Amino acid sequence: MKRLSPGRLANPQVMALIGVLLINWLLFPNFFNVTWQDGRFFGSIVDVLNRGAPVAILAIGMTGVIATKGVDLSVGAIMAVCGAVAATMVVAGYPTPIAVIAALSVGMLCGLWNGFLVAVLDIQPIVATLVLMVAGRGIAQLITEGSIVTFNDPALIFLGTGSLLGFPMAAVIALALMVLVTLLVRKTAIGLFIQAIGVNRAAASLAGIRSRMLLMLVYTTSGFCAAVAGIVVAADIRGADANNSGLWLELDAILAVVIGGTSLLGGRFSIPLAVIGALIIQAMNTGILVSGFPPEFNLIVKAGMIILILLIQSPYVTLPFRRRRPTITKAASR
Amino acid sequence: MKRSLRPLAATAVIFIIAYALSVVQFPNMLSTRVLGNFLTDNAFLGIAAVGMTFVIISGGIDLSVGSVIGFTGVLIAVLINWLGFHPLAAFVIALGVAGLFGAAMGFIIHYLQVPAFIVTLAGMFLARGGASVITQDSVPIHHDFYDTLGDLMIRLPGGGRLSFIGMLMIVVFLGGALLAHRTKFGSYVYALGGNPVSASLMGVPVAQTTVLIYMLSSMLAALAGIVFSLYTSAGYPLAAVGVELDAISAVVIGGTLLTGGYGFVLGTFVGVMLLGLVQTYIIFDGTLSSWWTKIVIGVLLFLFIVLQRIIFAASAPGGKSSEKA
Query: pLDDT (tens digit, 9 = 90+) per residue, B30-45?
Result: 888 888 888 889 999 9
Residues of B in Cβ contact (< 8 Å) with A132 = 298
CB atoms A138 and B136 under 8 Å: no
What does the pLDDT read at residue A328? 42
What does the pLDDT read at residue A70? 86
What does the pLDDT read at residue A9? 57
How many other CB atoms are found less than 10 A from the CB of residue B99? 17
Cα distance between residue A120 and residue A128, in whole Å: 11
The chain-wide mean pLDDT, for chain B, equals 87
Q: For A289-304, what is each residue's pLDDT tens digit?
A: 877 777 778 888 888 8
* DSSP for residue B205: -
Residue B151 to chain A, least CA–CA distance (Å): 35
A315 touches chain B (CB under 8 A): yes
**B residues 249-288 near A, CB within 8 Å?**
249, 252, 258-259
Which of B112, B259, B324 is nearest residue A124 as measured by Cβ atoms? B259
Which of A134, A251, A294 is nearest residue B301 as measured by Cβ atoms? A134
The chain-wide mean pLDDT, for chain A, equals 83
Among the ranges given (A80-89, A139-148, B304-313), the one the predictor scored with the smallest mean pLDDT: B304-313
Residue B296 pLDDT > 90, yes or no?
A: no
Residue B169 to chain A, least CA–CA distance (Å): 24
Residue B301 to chain A, least CA–CA distance (Å): 6
The answer to whether residues B7 and B267 touch, using CB atoms and an 8 Å cutoff, is: yes
Q: For B190-205, what is each residue's pLDDT tens digit?
A: 999 988 888 989 889 9
Percent share of chain A, pLDDT over 70: 90
B292 touches chain A (CB under 8 A): yes
Cα distance between residue A190 and residue A10, in whole Å: 26
Q: For B49-94, what is each residue's pLDDT tens digit?
A: 999 999 999 999 999 999 999 999 999 999 998 888 889 999 999 9
Residue A153 pLDDT > 50, yes or no?
A: yes
Q: Mean per-residue pLDDT for B279-283? A: 85
Q: Mean per-residue pLDDT for A133-158? A: 85
Task: Determine the residue of chain A that is closest to B120 in CA distance.
Answer: A303
Residue B251 pLDDT > 60, yes or no?
A: yes
A205 touches chain B (CB under 8 A): yes
pLDDT class of B208 with cuts at 50, 70, 90: very high
pLDDT class of B106 with cuts at 50, 70, 90: very high
Selected for mutation to probe chain B from A72, A306, A319, A325 (highest B CB count within 10 Å) is A306
Residue B321 to chain A, least CA–CA distance (Å): 10
Highest mean pLDDT among A134-138, A191-195, B73-77: B73-77
- Measuring CA to CA, which residue among B228, B207, B186, B245 is closest to residue B94? B228
Q: Mean per-residue pLDDT for B96-104? A: 96
pLDDT class of A239 with cuts at 50, 70, 90: confident
What does the pLDDT read at residue A7? 52
DSSP codes joined into one string, B135-195? -SS-EE---HHHHHHHH-EEEPTTS-EEEHHHHHHHHHHHHHHHHHHHSHHHHHHHHHHH-
A128 touches chain B (CB under 8 A): yes
Among the ranges given (A46-60, A142-156, B124-138, B161-175), the one the predictor scored with the smallest mean pLDDT: A142-156
Residue B1 pLDDT > 60, yes or no?
A: no
Cα distance between residue A17 and residue A22, in whole Å: 9
Which of B122, B199, B295 is nearest residue A303 as measured by Cβ atoms? B122
What does the pLDDT read at residue B12? 86
**B residues 118-147 near A, CB within 8 Å?**
118-119, 121-126, 128-130, 132-133, 136
Question: Which amino acid, residue A106?
Answer: V
- Measuring CA to CA, which residue among B272, B255, B274, B276 is closest to residue B264? B255
